[in-house]
């Protein structure tokens, strides 16, 4: 916020006064013509308009169902925070149902714990079996990758290179494998090493609480290892004795990979079976009935879903603030009956406001997003605020038969970034600025410093061309000129046809 005559304004004002004084140095020539000198001036083009302060957010609130108001927690003019409770309906029945549902959930959780603990022999045996299966599956994967598959790799842990060769005396025979297959197998070997390292760490932290999660991860990892071995088998199986004289060695390679694949597949099967047995282990509950962990977990899930449903229904008995703001309407009365959907409370944002104004089609072409705006309010005539155009609506609106376009002006300032783009810096509004205040706007649409200028009234228009009566040696010469920017003080830029100091008659 600045005073009306800011330092910047005073500088422009002083320059304009000097220019006007120079321009209006009028004298009589021999022909009785009044003349004015062409001088340099700073031109500013502005579009004036009026607008209204509006909140960036506003909302009308009511209950989602009919009922009787139990409590009202706010009044008109009160500031509220996001999610703050504003009013509530009588909700005794559903509140009681929610308490009952929460108690049911607690009971089902207790039963789940009892099922896992009342017959420790059956359940614990299943847990131990699953733990053993996880460890055995790791051993199978480790053996398949690091022992059986790694004989076909060089630098298998750092930079694995898939290469199959046979040495016979001083001669080394390399089997031909497509390069894309080699690259894919090399990448899979790197991934397999990462899996085995992470798997080993997981085994160190294995406990009854994470058995099933670890088992699921182990099954996924085993499937990856199995696919990895399949790719190696595909490459090895492509070698035939018809092509090579090393039938015994090639057959041994095939047998090794086949055995590794079968070992991994067997580990997957064992792990899935052990996990199913844990989930389906029959356990005698405290009520003397046989049940399963999965059955009781299902009951717990149902109880949780019932609570979520009741909580969603209970929320319809409350009105909460969707954003921080100030209450501008409050019609809810304690004990009063209300209908669903009727507006009882209205809120507007207090810390986020903008000015909405209508610009006629004559001037809208001059305005662009980022234009600086000088703002004054009828409520504070001696103060000036700075703002900028932040949005121009593409659709038109008809006012008194004239086409207009709505623009939005935000309080703040604009800067030009290093890339030439306009950077908008928003300012927090002064607390005394209220929604609905009338704002007077001066939108700076263009400016040019130190340009040749003359008063617009000295220009003569003929057939879309511009002329002036130039005084040369006391005589009038009709001279065509080209005009540029029109300033808000009645001056117009001269682009060509005149020079500084020339005299123009009128």
Q: What is the pLDDT of residues 402-436, one digit of tens each?
A: 999 999 998 888 777 777 677 777 777 777 888 88
pLDDT confidence of residue 33: 62
User: Which two tokens mark 21?
Assistant: 């004084």
Q: Residues with Cβ < 8 Å from 206, sequence gap 6 or more?
A: 131, 134, 135, 214
H or E element in which residue 113 lies: helix 92-118
H or E element in which residue 380 lies: strand 380-399
d(CA 473, CA 378): 53
pLDDT confidence of residue 23: 45
CATH architecture of 120-284: Up-down Bundle (1.20)
CATH 3.40.718.10 given to domain 2-55+352-505: no
Distances (CA, A) of 20 to 34, 128, 499: 16, 98, 17
Closest by CA to 503, choosing from 469, 479, 478, is: 469
Closest by CA to 87, choosing from 348, 350, 349, 336, is: 336
Using 70 as the pLDDT threshold, list the residues of the chain that sit under it.
Answer: 1-33, 116-122, 156, 167-172, 240-246, 280-294, 420
CATH of domain 58-89+317-348: 2.40.50.100
Please state whether the predicted TM-score (pTM) of the whole model is above 0.75: no
pLDDT confidence of residue 24: 43
Q: Where are the domains of the chain?
A: 2-55+352-505, 58-89+317-348, 98-116+288-314, 120-284
Torsion angles phi and psi, residue 154, rounded to 5: -110, 145
* Fold agreement between 58-89+317-348 and 120-284: no
pLDDT confidence of residue 440: 95
Cα angle: 262, vertex 263, 268; to 5 degrees: 95
Neighbours of 276 (CB within 10 A): 13
Closest by CA to 72, choosing from 59, 88, 90, is: 88
């Amino acid at each position: 916020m600045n005073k009306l005559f800011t330092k910047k304004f005073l500088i422009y004002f002083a320059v304009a006064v000097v220019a006007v004084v120079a321009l209006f140095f009028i004298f009589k020539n021999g022909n009785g013509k009044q003349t004015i000198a062409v001088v340099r001036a700073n031109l500013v083009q502005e579009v004036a308009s009026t607008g209204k302060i509006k909140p960036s957010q506003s909302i009308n609130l009511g209950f989602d169902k009919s009922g009787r108001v139990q409590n009202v927690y706010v009044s008109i003019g009160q500031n509220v925070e996001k999610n703050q409770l504003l009013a509530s309906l009588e909700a005794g029945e559903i509140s009681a149902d929610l308490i009952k549902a929460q108690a049911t959930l607690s009971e089902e959780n207790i039963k789940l714990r009892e099922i896992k603990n009342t017959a420790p022999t059956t359940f614990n045996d299943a847990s131990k079996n699953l733990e053993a299966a996880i460890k055995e599956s790791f051993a199978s994967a480790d053996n398949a990758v690091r022992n059986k598959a790694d004989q076909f790799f060089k630098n298998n842990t750092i930079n694995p290179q898939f290469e199959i060769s046979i040495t016979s005396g001083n001669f080394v025979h390399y089997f031909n494998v497509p390069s894309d297959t080699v690259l894919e197998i090399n990448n899979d070997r790197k991934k397999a090493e990462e899996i085995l390292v992470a798997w080993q760490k997981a085994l160190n932290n294995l406990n009854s609480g994470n058995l099933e999660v670890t088992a699921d991860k182990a099954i996924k990892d085993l499937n990856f290892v199995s696919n990895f071995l399949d790719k190696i088998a595909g490459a090895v199986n492509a070698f035939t004795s018809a092509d090579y004289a090393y039938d015994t060695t090639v057959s041994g390679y095939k047998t090794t990979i086949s055995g590794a694949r079968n070992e991994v597949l067997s580990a997957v099967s064992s792990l899935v079976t052990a996990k199913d047995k844990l989930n389906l282990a029959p356990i005698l509950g405290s009520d003397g009935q046989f049940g399963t962990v999965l059955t009781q977990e299902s009951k717990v899930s149902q109880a949780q879903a019932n609570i979520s449903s009741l909580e969603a229904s209970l929320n319809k008995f409350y009105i909460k603030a969707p954003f921080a703001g100030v209450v501008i309407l409050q019609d809810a009365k304690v004990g009063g009956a209300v209908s669903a959907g009727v507006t009882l409370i209205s809120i507007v944002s207090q810390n986020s406001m903008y000015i909405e104004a209508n610009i006629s089609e004559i001037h809208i072409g001059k305005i662009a997003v980022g234009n600086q705006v000088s703002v004054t309010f009828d409520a504070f005539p001696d103060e000036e605020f700075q703002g900028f155009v932040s949005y121009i609506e593409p659709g038109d609106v008809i006012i008194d038969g004239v086409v207009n376009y709505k623009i939005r002006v935000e309080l703040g300032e604009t800067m030009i970034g290093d890339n030439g783009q306009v950077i908008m810096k928003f300012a927090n509004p002064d607390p005394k600025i209220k929604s609905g205040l009338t704002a007077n706007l001066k939108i700076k649409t263009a400016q040019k410093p130190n340009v040749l200028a003359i008063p617009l009234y000295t220009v003569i228009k003929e057939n879309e061309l511009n002329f002036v009566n130039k005084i040369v040696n006391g005589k009038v010469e009709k001279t065509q000129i080209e005009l540029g920017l029109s300033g808000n003080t009645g001056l117009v830029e001269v682009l060509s046809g005149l020079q500084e100091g020339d005299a123009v008659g009128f």
